[in-house]
Amino acid sequence: MQAYDELIHWATDQGIEVHGIEAKMMPGRGLGMVASKDIEANERLIYVPTSSLRSLTTVRSKIRHALPPPAPNNKGTPVHALLAADLTLETPFAAIKYSAWHAIVPTRDEIFSSLPLAWPPSDYDKLHSLLPFQARTHLSKQKAKFEKDWELIRDVVFPALEMPPNRGTTYKQRFLYNWLLVNTRTFYHETPKTERLSKDDKMILQPVADLLNHADEGCEVSFDLACFTITADRDYKQGEEICICYGRHSNDFLMVEYGFCPEENKWDEVCIDEVVLEEMTNEQKQKLEEKGFLGGYMIDERTPGGCYRTRVALMLKCVSSAEWERLVDEGEDGGEEVKRLVDRVVVKVLKKYLKKCKGAIGELKQLGSSAEMVLKRWRQIQKAVEDSLGELELVVVDDRSD
């Protein structure tokens, strides 16, 4: 793989070390890394000196000085926006310096075809409306974040660099590509200069290490002032994929942020806010909000009958308002009788959501290849709901036979 070989040659010149792993195309998931030999737990796989990281301090000075610096509590200019602007407005010298890295990262077509934020207008409205609630909510927040970052770059950086304003439309697409590139390839990193910034501003780009794909468990990632290191979390056989964990995220989050929905994800959960809140009166919603239980209703493999928030909310359908307040204030669940009543309401809610799943799947089937990822997600959700119903209905039937 010539592009990878050139990247490793360049990386070696930068002081980056790669041990026992190599790049390989992974079916349906792009480029990844596999063990080139048997690897033992705690073996160092990648070493990246701090001098090779692309960070706030490597952003072109004209860009940094044109904008308010990042500040605590998400004040100032986000590091995300600065890194994306630096890539978008890269100087010829920087383009040459990082040419080996540019040759191996996803192309604009690859990014735009996989990430919901980059859906073309002809697809965006329809597909956005068919996203699961949690994904739709997250995408709306992501879109607002991007537009805010773009306005900063367009209104401040372009004039500072004496760029013609009529090129804004073209540069917005370039900025979107680089903004998404940064979003999907950065690592958490903290230095004395950034320790007071928000978590979202503690990000860096690092060549080679960004080729590692995500899994719900993966290699150990660590850093200090001198370097960034990735170490094997367990033994690996030659040819086995080497991954890191991007975080304990649901597939809705991963779909919006990274453009994929893994088949196996022990951190996955299904948000059922829509159908739970449809069961509530306005007065009940107000009561939930007052007690801090409005929204955030989930089911997963560990809690097929609903998470704690879900069951507390639906308990409001099973007891009086006054009794519900007492139980919430005292941290009680009402005992076995209330638990059985809540189980029955959960079954009712999940059957309603299952109908919604099937409706969304039917519509998505009519949209062709552009809807494949969203269709896959809804099928995952359908299975999760059916599995939960299978367990709950057995419990409800047993209760009624007592």
| CATH (one of 3.30.420.40, 3.90.1150.10, 3.90.1410.10, 3.40.50.150) for 2-258 | 3.90.1410.10
Q: Greater confidence, 338 or 122?
A: 338
Alpha carbon distance 97, 101 (integer Å): 9
> Where are the domain boundaries for CATH 3.90.1410.10 in the chain?
2-258
Q: Considering the chain, what percentage of its residues have pLDDT values greater than 90?
A: 78
CA distances from 295 to 270, 277, 285 (A): 13, 8, 9
pLDDT of 125: 81
Q: Is the pTM of this model over 0.75?
A: yes
pLDDT of residue 335: 93
- Contacts for 311-316 with beta carbons within 8 Å, 24 or more apart? 311/342, 311/346, 313/276, 313/280, 313/288, 314/276, 314/279, 314/342, 314/345, 314/346, 314/349, 315/342, 316/280, 316/284, 316/287, 316/288
Residue 170: the pLDDT is 78
- Residue-wise pLDDT for 226-264, tens only, equals 999 999 999 999 999 999 999 999 999 999 999 999 999
Strand pairing partners for 220? 231
How far is residue 397's CA from residue 400's CA, in Å, rounded to a whole number? 5
Query: Do residues 210 and 221 make contact, with C-beta atoms less than 8 angstroms apart?
Result: no
